[in-house]
Amino acid sequence: MPLCPPYFSGFDALSADEKSLLMDDALPQWLCAKKTDAGGAAHKCSEGSSAAVICIHGFTAMPYEVMPVARACVQAGVSAIAPLLSGHGYRELSMQKEKFGQITADGLLAAVREEIHRARQRYGSVGLYGHSMGGAIALILAAEGLVDACAVSAPALRLPWQAEVLAPVICRFAFTRAAPTKELFYLPSYQFYHSYAVRALWQLSHMGRHRLSEIDCPVLGVHTHGDKTVPPVVLDLMERRITSELSTVWFDPSSHAMTLDSCADEVNARVATFFKQCFC
């Protein structure tokens, strides 16, 4: 059954009409690591390594946010796919608000399940990497046993206390609130929140932290004590509840957007090394 709003798979070439609807930094990507290439150069292709990582962006964000990890994985010999999640990445403000207000936790999970299914048809080993909301999604689906390894950065298993308290109340009403980017570097994202989208994020956060004990694949969690968006306590939650092989690493003084901030090279390389060790 088609998802509403749709997600855009990294495996599909977009039509001209679809591209016109989306921001340039929102376009999904499929990068293939060919073992025959010296240095593991990135290619857009249909064949390649025997392992792949699906890279899931965060709330209001788009593939641009996780592409540094995707490229690092390719350099390490592991192919990477970066889909665009449902309701994200639209160019026009009116469509942004319409589509973002339609997203649901179930719809976001269904989109990534479909991407995993498509990856399984092409690769022998499949991993999930997720940042922030994408991290919560990745951990939920790892708990479902759908992937062979899972890495997350600043996973949204907890939200700022204001959101934890207010989300169940405000989500009964449809409205938007300005949310300009606070980073000092380029980070394309929606410049607003929608109350219904916040509800989906809050639900994913709740599901993610309550399913940690069901995960049985290797997991890597990276975070920073300087994160003002996702409380650092989430790594403590993972350490207490995940019983499978787990590694945690701190990258201070990075901000929430760890894949792009001051420690970006180290963060991206650490995630790629984790998947290389799991699959190669």
What average pLDDT does this structure show over 158-186? 80
**What is the identity of the amino acid at 83?**
P
| CA atoms within 13 Å, Cβ hemisphere of 105 | 17
Contact 158, 209 (CB under 8 A): yes
Beta bridge partners of 22: 90
Please, is 131 exposed, middle or buried when counting C-beta atoms within 10 Å of its C-beta (0-12, 13-18, 19+)?
Answer: buried
Residue 48: pLDDT band (50, 70, 90) is: low
Q: At what angle do helices 233-241 and 195-210 cross, to 10 degrees?
A: 40
Q: Given the DSSP bridges, would you call strands 125-131 and 149-153 parallel, antiparallel or unpaired?
A: parallel
CA pair distance 74, 122, nearest whole angstrom: 16
Rounded Cα–Cα distance for residues 249 and 270 (Å): 9
Lowest mean pLDDT among 45-54, 152-161, 212-221: 45-54
Which residues lie below 8 Å from residue 138, measured CB to CB, with a gap of 6+?
A: 56, 112, 128, 129, 130, 147, 150, 151, 152, 155
Poorest-confidence range of 3-12, 41-50, 160-169? 41-50
Q: Which residue type does 96 have?
A: Q
Between the CA of residue 185 and those of 14, 177, 203, 252, 257, what are the distances in Å? 28, 22, 29, 17, 10
Q: What is the pLDDT of residue 174?
A: 85
The two structure tokens encoding residue 152: 């997350």
Q: How confident is the model at residue 35 (pLDDT cuts 50, 70, 90)?
A: low
Q: pLDDT tens across 211-270, in order?
A: 999 999 999 999 999 999 999 999 999 999 999 999 999 999 999 999 999 999 999 999
Share of the chain above pLDDT 70, in %: 94
Q: Cα(264)–Cα(72) distance, rounded to whole angstroms?
A: 11
Q: What is the mean pLDDT of residues 86-112?
A: 97
pLDDT of res. 39: 43
Taking 90 as the threshold, does the pLDDT of residue 22 lie above it? yes
pLDDT band at 67 (very low <50, low <70, confident <90, very high): very high
pLDDT at 162: 75
- Check whether 2 has a pLDDT greater than 90: no
Q: What is the pLDDT of residue 171?
A: 73
Q: What is the mean pLDDT of the chain?
A: 92
